[in-house]
Structure 1
Amino acid sequence: MNVSDDKMLDLLARAEPEGIEMLYDRYSGLAYTLALRVVNDSATAEDVVQEAFLSIWRRASTYRSDRGSLRTWVCSIVHHRALDRLRGRAGRARHDVALEHAPIEATSVSDTWDQVADEIERAEIRTALTELSVEQRETIELAYFGGYSQTEISELMHVPLGTVKGRTRLALRKLRGVLEFRLAEGMA
């Protein structure tokens, strides 16, 4: 049975278990592949996928179609869960180091300002992404945030490779223009 994303969202919004079952059937393979690429461990990737779909079930009402497709939303949640898992693993590893052997890191004001500048830059890019068409935004998100190759994106989106390349080129050109305009606006 081929159910539309809109129908699945409707079922999810009404907390119908059938909605999450259909969503899982459709996107769990993609979710697992993405999680595995990030965490590089099969068991951890499975955990990430389960956590992501539980989160989707609980937060179905937060989905906004104007920010991307359901597939992109699912990938985004999986990607963030996988990164959270990596951060948790890195955090545990740091805590296992004996204090006398722990490296001493000097934090400086410039490090703080660099972090602030990076966050402002990320916010500008997120805002600029909203200027793209849904197809262009999905392509960029899968490539740059999901880590997919253009060939993989072509297969995931069921479009020719040339279409993916064209969308990427046009999206990057538009992003460059939007960001340059915003930069010029900020300097005026």
Structure 2
Amino acid sequence: MADFSEVPDHQLLQQITQEQESALEALYTRYATSVFSLAMFMLRQPPLAEEVTQDVFLNIWRKAATFKADRGEPKAWIMSIAHHRIVDVIRSRRRAPPITEPREFDLLELLPSSGASTEEQVERNLDRERIVKALSNLPEAQQQVVILAYFEGYSQSEMAEKLQQPLGTVKTRVRLAMQKLRTILEDYGTEQS
């Protein structure tokens, strides 16, 4: 396999459109841990999180040509694909009754199969702690909509119905919550430097 360590993400995506499997492998090496972590955080089931991670990279292989560099960074695009896939899984699980209760998982099962380094694991755990801490700084109504939207997969219309609130109120809460979270997380980032 060629050395892709210095190749920018957008070039890897371009190479994927030309069906270069090694470019997909390089992208997988860079982002599988992030995708798996998000899936694990939202789904809390290692086998399901691994399946979602594989689905995301299969989707990247199939749809790399749809990436538009002028609309954002490749990492944001990849994580958006991951988030949408996870939400799809959550919604389908909400419709279908569970066959068995999810079992408790060992800490070791949280590690993705891509072999993330200890440093990456620590960084991922710190990111998770920062997000949870930032979320706790939001007013309860804003916490509620963020949790429903990003961790339980509700659409804004579904949240309005569930919370028995006007859609405009829900949209405002989501927007304000995201603005506050961004500010809080940026502040955490400067504190760490």
Give the TM-score taking structure 1 as reference length. Answer: 0.53
- Give the Å deviation of 1:25: 0.6
Which SS does the other structure have where 1:59 is aligned? helix
Letter in 2 for 1:22: A
Highest RCO, 1 vs 2 (Cα 8 Å, sep ≥ 6): 2
Map 1:157-176; keep pairs closer than 5 Å: 161-162=189-190
Which residue in the other structure is 2:70 paired with?
Answer: 66
8 Å Cα contact 1:13/1:60 also seen in 2: yes
Which residue in the other structure is 2:35 paired with?
Answer: 31
Hey, what's the Cα distance between the residues in 2 that align with 1:3 and 1:64?
18
Residues 1:68 and 1:163: Cα distance change in structure 2 (over 3 Å)? farther
Contiguous gaps of at least 5 residues in structure 1: 95-110, 129-139, 155-159, 165-188
Which SS does the other structure have where 1:93 is aligned? coil
Out of 12, 18, 22, the residue aligned to residue 18 of structure 1 is: 22
Letter in 1 for 2:190: G
Which SS does the other structure have where 2:96 is aligned? helix
Hey, what's the Cα distance between the residues in 2 that align with 1:39 and 1:161?
26
Matched, 1:150 2:185: yes
Cα deviation, 1:1-27, whole Å, max 9, x if unaligned, reads 322113202211212111211110110
Contiguous gaps of at least 5 residues in structure 2: 99-156
* Deviation beyond 3 Å, 4+ runs, structure 1: none
Map 1:61-140; keep pairs closer than 5 Å: 61-93=65-97, 118=167
Matched, 1:7 2:11: yes
Hey, what's the Cα distance between the residues in 2 that align with 1:6 and 1:46?
24
Report which of the two has the higher share of helix.
1
8 Å Cα contact 1:38/1:82 also seen in 2: yes
- Taking only the aligned residue pairs, the percentage that are identical comes to 28
Superposition RMSD in Å: 3.9
Which residue in the other structure is 2:47 paired with?
Answer: 43
- Give the Å deviation of 1:163: 8.9
Hey, what's the Cα distance between the residues in 2 that align with 1:91 and 1:6?
37
Hey, what's the Cα distance between the residues in 1 that align with 2:72 and 2:14?
17
Hey, what's the Cα distance between the residues in 2 that align with 1:42 and 1:21?
21
Aligned residues: 123
Cα deviation, 1:116-137, whole Å, max 9, x if unaligned, reads x749x86x9xxx9xxxxxxxxx
Hey, what's the Cα distance between the residues in 1 that align with 2:65 and 2:8?
17
**Rg larger in 1 or in 2?**
1
Give the TM-score taking structure 2 as reference length. Answer: 0.52
Hey, what's the Cα distance between the residues in 2 that align with 1:12 and 1:45?
23
Which residue in the other structure is 1:137 paired with?
Answer: none
Cα deviation, 1:121-179, whole Å, max 9, x if unaligned, reads 86x9xxx9xxxxxxxxxxx69x67xxxx828xx9xxxxx81299xxxxxxxxxxxxxxx
